[in-house]
Structure 1
């Protein structure tokens, strides 16, 4: 099994005074259950996915929960939201019971959960593996921070930017990167014992299971075909702007249906919706968000595609990786893209309290000064200093430009 960076944060939360209820949400098959059972072997494991057992659990009083299950893991708790009321009641009456609630969608968006757990829980989100996690081989392996994560956590943002030397670590990073491009980062497809065909088959089955089970937790569908149609359309257009009205007209759906289906993909951790940065009213900026599939392997499976990636898929998989790595170190930041009405765009802007970081993403093997022109003009739009700008690509050479712009190899920076 691969080691997980977030494990330490979860244990820390559980040990804290505010961590009597810890909520862990993330897509199915990301390894939530395996990790939590490994970290907390003394906790009773309760699968709420079992329809018979969840009915029995729902009948238990708060006192019975306290006596029978004073420390428990409730897995797939979104299947029976009424159980949240029971856990809340135990929390309010006794100081010692502790619970870990696992779910395959963003639980706190469910009204009952949001109302019951407000102020009573610590929340963590769980994602497919990051590139540094892909390089581990067991639970006990330390997960090294990527150069990107080290950059985020350093005060000095200038002195250490790397010039890469091809060594063993670089070879490991490149191997993880090559796997990530082909198969994504779900734990099951990271196992070396599987053949390429077996990995593609797993991803295909994952998409089928998602449609048959996970999406039905969020809504009642009489006909899944419209959702499947939209899912495929967005997979084709990952890395692109979302114009819900245009999509609705193209697919023969209502605007509200398109918006709702996109939200389902987002709260079930299949996609990241990246809002447009539009804090400068004096500039003509697009307000349309962008869609990025969370996992390239799943995106490829939705499209029934094998092999290489497009430029937009390359952009999406890098932004998804950055998104995961920020979450894994519990770093406070907001992510945006920026696009002007005359077509100038910056793929990713990360907002921090007193400055911004910016990223251009190119699938090219060579970066030139022409690739940084939009980054050079970005400071004219922003309302806080641009601390550092990056071009991430396949170019193995580190290149420095003026205006605090540096071009780095994506695999080395994120791996």
Structure 2
């Protein structure tokens, strides 16, 4: 669990995980599958189309319980407070789990993905509606947002074309700030109404 916790919010490397616990790539993959079956973690498939050859097609891993993630990483409140760099992966996995909960509404038919191109531009959460429309969510553990924080969302919008509905950067503030056509920054609290 500790080894997987260090990679929460990152692309899954089954070979590296297996080697870290002295098992084969396939056994490591099976262990991850078992943890998914008991809803401790989730692997998120990448979003891509057949036309997109420059897209990374590796799944991403998230812990579904941010308290378990913090414990497995040996993080206390004081340590997270002192080192904001440790907060980002916790926040991203927390938001992913909250979005999954919201997706249980009967009128929502969404499939979660992530997006990353070969240039390293990424979007933490990509939601694809059953009609093919796409929304992107980027999570920032910061009280400020700048135009550069939208690079992944802009790349996703370009890849989606007319299917791109909107992109949002969730951040630690109270203000909704527009950043161009179909792009905005919004407070994390907007997840709950």
Using the size of structure 1 for normalisation, the TM-score is 0.43
State whether structure 2 residue 134 is matched by structure 1 residue 343: no
2:38 aligned with 1:268: yes
Change (3 A) 1:330 1:305: farther
Counterpart-to-counterpart distance in 2, 1:288 and 1:406: 27
2:76 maps to 306
Map 1:70-219 → 2, pairs under 5 A: none
SS of equivalent residue, structure 1 residue 321: helix
- CA deviations on 1:176-228 (whole Å, 9 max, x unpaired) are xxxxxxxxxxxxxxxxxxxxxxxxxxxxxxxxxxxxxxxxxxxxxxxxxxxxx
The answer to whether the Cα contact below 8 Å between 1:356 and 1:384 also exists between their aligned partners in 2 is: no
Contact 2:123 2:136 in 1 (8 A): yes
Structure (1 or 2) with the greater strand fraction: 2
Q: Do structure 1's residue 286 and structure 2's residue 56 form an aligned pair?
A: yes
Could you say which residue in structure 2 is the equivalent of 1:377? 155
1:249 to 19, 38, 42: 19
Change (3 A) 1:250 1:304: closer
Match of 1:319, SS state, is: helix
Q: CA offsets per residue over residues 137-179 of structure 1, 9 Å max, x none?
A: xxxxxxxxxxxxxxxxxxxxxxxxxxxxxxxxxxxxxxxxxxx
Matched, 1:238 2:15: no
**Which among 87, 95, 98 is matched to residue 321 of structure 1?**
98
Taking the aligned partners of 1:267 and 1:306, their CA distance within structure 2 comes to 28
Find the aligned partners of 2:154 and 2:134 in 1 and give their Cα distance.
Answer: 14
Question: Shift of the alpha carbon at 1:329?
Answer: 4.2
Distance in 1 of aligned mates of 2:117 and 2:167: 18
Aligned equivalents of 2:184 and 2:174: distance in 1?
13
Q: Specify which of 141, 146, 169 is matched with residue 363 of structure 1.
A: 141
* CA displacement 1:214-270 (0-9 Å, x = unmatched): xxxxxxxxxxxxxxxxx1111122101101122223332101111111001111010
Do the aligned partners of residues 270 and 330 (structure 1) sit closer, same or farther apart at CA in structure 2, a change above 3 Å counting? Answer: farther
Q: Is the 8 A contact 2:46 2:114 kept in 1?
A: yes
Larger Rg: 1
Partner of 1:404 in structure 2? Answer: 182
Shift of 1:383: 6.1
Change (3 A) 1:300 1:329: farther
> Hey, what's the Cα distance between the residues in 1 that align with 2:33 and 2:107?
23
Runs of 5+ unmatched residues, structure 1: 1-230
